[in-house]
Structure 1
Amino acid sequence: MKRSSQPTINDVARIAGVSKKTVSRVINQSPLLNGDTRKRVEEVIADLGYVPNPQARALALRRNFLIGLIHDNPNAQMVLNVQQGMLEVLRDTEFELIVHPVNRGSPTMLGDIGQFLERQRPFGVMILPPISENDQLAALCAELGVRYVRMGSAPLDEASHMVASNDREAVRGAVEHLIESGHRRIGLVLGPHGFRSAVERQKGYEEALEHAGLPLQRTLIVQGDYKFESGMRAAEQLLDLAPRPTAVFASNDEMAAGVLHVARQRGLNVPQDLSIIGFDDTPIASHLWPPLTTVRWPIATMARAAALKLVSGEGGAHSEDGEASLFVSTLIRRASVAPASG
């Protein structure tokens, strides 16, 4: 029989015996549904010949089907990993990812982001550190009615608004691994000023030394900025010390690679003369020689969880389906650590 009008999402929901929100999740290929429900809704959609209208839905919601990624981060690999994780969730849905880099040092940063949100009307945004630590930015998103999820190295917000890692505990475990290997003079290459991750990782280093009864020597702590070149500069400073450290923890893999490069330039054998641990477990860690012992930061997993928080449902609480908010980093042991000599 010929229908007098196009079927609506209400028709699908009524016949399938589910809510409009569930129908929407089926349409958006959400993984947060059981197979029987998905199959029943898909059969009704096919039987009715229902075709979703993204433009109409966007108009009704006063939002576009865009997910924004807002960042000011010097680590290009980290941003790329976040994008890949988010795109795994958004692929085969109506949502598209838009990336909006900002300058956290600009006095107009909040105003610029506000204009971006009002102009693009995104469905939601993911905010990367360090600007994710800005409570005013979170308040701005809430004021404009834009869903947001903040990524951090420690809890920053309610579970529905964040994904966080346990950086302090992970670094403490990494430095304890060096201590257990007999190292007593352990250098630290810090992350950049203004990053909560840098603070958390430094605290993990300090807690490991304190727990082992080792003195905290400020000369062994050198500033870095998460870039390869800063790792090289830090290594020059640390390896000029007498006595020099027998091990170095660098707050990310890029800087650890810089430390390894300088050690090689100076004729030091890694790990026999100098043990090195990084953080992130980016591809560079396994491509170096020797392969780098590092803390695996579950960045792509965190990004996937953040995307799920943003797209699960259309108007309810973000974390209604129980997506995880705290993610555990783990030490990946490779060949860049050896027992201390002498």
Structure 2
Amino acid sequence: MPAPGKATINDIARLAAVSKKTVSRVINNSPLVRPDTREKIQTLMKQLGYAPDPQARGLAFRRSFLIGLVYDNPTAQYIVNMQYGALDALRDSGYELVVHPCDSNRDDYIDGIRRFALQQKLHGVILIPRVSEDDQLARALREIDVRYVRIASIPLDDPAHMLHTQERQAGVEAANYLQSLGHRQLGLITGPHRYRSSIERGGGFAHGLAQRGIELTPDYVFEGGYTFESGVAGAEYLLAKSPRPTAIFACNDEMAAGVYKAAMRRGLSIPGDLSVVGYDDSPLATQLWPALTTIHSPIRDLGRQAAQMLLAPEHAPAPTQPLSVTPHLVVRDSSQPPPV
């Protein structure tokens, strides 16, 4: 019996009285192994502390056991939560996560992602906004036969490749909530218009208000950049309006934090003079004072589900509808009825 941690695939095969190929099939979750044989081999691997080498497995199967996470400059906390979720799914699977930032403003960014996928022999790729919204990138990954999952605010692909975040409905919920408090003079700070999430969040907010007879005019909408600085600029713009909005919906928490700063500069209290609602429910939401009312986006759960989709057997039945998650409003202390 080899010492724990020193066993090889040949040792496992010999002790289980099976072929090396059968052990390899168990390692790679092949359905072509009887349940009792699978259990015996897995028990031996656990007893002997045997862990297959990802690089060696990659050479044997002409691919690596790596999942790529590709992103283009979202907030740092968003990326951290997405990674945690993906790692939750990959734990004990034999797969590892590789993170790849890119700049989608560059003409050659798709070529760069293609090279990354080929050089790493990726098993699959998780695409998050905004790169997930690029049909040309999805087409390039299909051409090189790399599996992918797109996380996006609207269905953009076959259900097998999609995780739908339902951000328009979340915008509607924010509008309904503020209107229910009695606010009728409202402002909106969106993200960049080239981001589909910005269009859906802001569009949902405007639609929700319109359903209740409240018009959100273009001069009460400011295009931000999903950054703290753009939240400050947006709030300065909106708070200079006459009449001044009594509530502002910022399409992420960092911009909402910028609204706090602009309000403080003007001597306005939150929520006494101005109610504020954000989006994401990042740790920042509870670090602000007063704590921020915001839309909770299950980012970690998105990362977990996306990784699980890539780990599913290739012969598994394809879903007929995109998987989705449902954001929801978390009411805290930054919102109340408007001042009389």
Q: Which TM bucket (shorter chain)? A: 0.7 to 0.9
Partner of 2:256: 256
**Aligned equivalent of 1:334:** 332
Q: Within the alignment, does 1:7 sit opposite 2:19 as a pair?
A: yes
Q: 1:304 maps to what in 2?
A: 304
Aligned residue number for residue 171 of structure 1 = 171
Q: Specify the alignment match of 1:45 in structure 2.
A: 42
Structure 1 residues 59, 210: closer, same or farther in 2, change over 3 A?
Answer: same
Matches within 5 A, 1:170-209: 170-209=170-209
What is aligned with 2:233? Answer: 233
Q: Quickly say closer, same or farther: Cα 1:70–1:12, change in 2 above 3 A.
A: closer
CA separation in 2, counterparts of 1:179 and 1:65?
50
**Percent of aligned positions that are identical:** 42
The within-5 A match list for 1:139-154 is 139-154=139-154
Deviation (angstroms), 1:110: 1.3
Q: CA RMSD in A?
A: 2.8
Q: TM-score, normalised by structure 1?
A: 0.87
d(CA) in 2 for partners of 1:211, 1:293 = 22
Asked if structure 2 preserves the Cα contact closer than 8 Å seen for 1:309 and 1:318, the reply is no
Contact 2:160 2:322 in 1 (8 A): no
One-letter identity of the residue aligned with 1:199: I
Equivalent position amino acid for 1:7 in 2: S
Are the counterparts in 1 of residues 155 and 322 from structure 2 also a CA contact under 8 Å? no
- Tell me, in whole angstroms, the C-alpha distance in 1 between the residues paired with 2:23 and 2:109: 45
Q: Which moved more, 1:68-77 or 1:124-133?
A: 68-77
1:73 is displaced (CA, Å) by 2.3
Q: Is the 8 A contact 2:158 2:322 kept in 1?
A: no
Q: Distance in 2 between matches of 1:309 and 1:318?
A: 12
Question: Aligned partners of 1:170 and 1:278: how far apart in 2?
Answer: 11
Q: Alpha-carbon deviation of 1:312?
A: 2.3
Corresponding residue SS for 1:107: coil
Tell me if the contact between 1:198 and 1:251 (Cα under 8 Å) persists in the aligned partners.
yes
- Matched residue SS, 2:267: coil
Alignment-derived partner of residue 99 in structure 1: 99
How far the C-alpha of 1:248 sits from its partner, in A, is 0.2
C-alpha deviations, 1:135-187, integer Å up to 9, x for none?
11111111111110011112121221111211001110111100010000110
State the shift of 1:10 in Å.
Answer: 2.6
Which string of whole-angstrom CA distances, capped at 9 and with x for unpartnered residues, describes residues 75-98 of structure 1? Answer: 111111111111111223321111
Is the Cα contact below 8 Å between 1:67 and 1:98 reproduced in 2? yes
Contact 2:162 2:322 in 1 (8 A): no
Deviation at 1:46, TM superposition (A): 3.3
Shift of 1:123: 0.8
Instruction: Find the aligned partners of 1:95 and 1:21 in 2 and give their Cα distance.
Output: 18
Structure 1 residues 318 and 68: alpha-carbon distance in aligned structure 2, compared to 1, 3 A threshold: farther
- Residue 34 of structure 1 corresponds to none
- Which has the larger displacement, 273-282 or 304-313? 304-313
Please say if 1:20 is aligned against 2:45.
no
- Residue type of the alignment partner of 2:337: P
Aligned partner of 1:113 in structure 2 is 113
Contact between 2:166 and 2:326, CA under 8 Å: does it hold in 1?
yes
CA contact (8 A) 2:153 2:164 kept: yes
Instruction: Tell me the distance in 1 between the aligned counterparts of 2:52 and 2:113.
Output: 31
Please say if residues 160 and 318 of structure 1, whose CA atoms lie closer than 8 Å, have aligned partners that are also in contact.
Answer: no
Report the residue type matching 2:325 in the other structure: F
Post-superposition Cα deviations, 1:235-255, rounded to whole Å, max 9, x if no partner, equal 100111111000000000000
Q: 1:265 to 1:65 in 2, by over 3 A?
A: same
Distance between the aligned counterparts of 1:41 and 1:324, measured in 2?
Answer: 32
Determine if contact 1:9/1:23 at 8 Å carries over to the other structure.
Answer: no
Which residue of structure 1 aligns with residue 8 of structure 2?
none
**CA distance in structure 2 between the aligned counterparts of 1:57 and 1:100, rounded to whole angstroms:** 22
Q: CA deviation at 1:8?
A: 2.8
Residue 74 (structure 1) shift: 3.3
Q: Is the 8 A contact 1:305 1:324 kept in 2?
A: no
Task: Report how many aligned residue pairs link the two structures.
Answer: 323
1:323 to partner: Cα distance: 11
- 2:222 maps to which residue? 222
Q: Which piece of structure 1 moves more, 47-56 or 211-220? A: 47-56
* Runs of 5+ consecutive residues of structure 1 not aligned to the other structure: 25-36
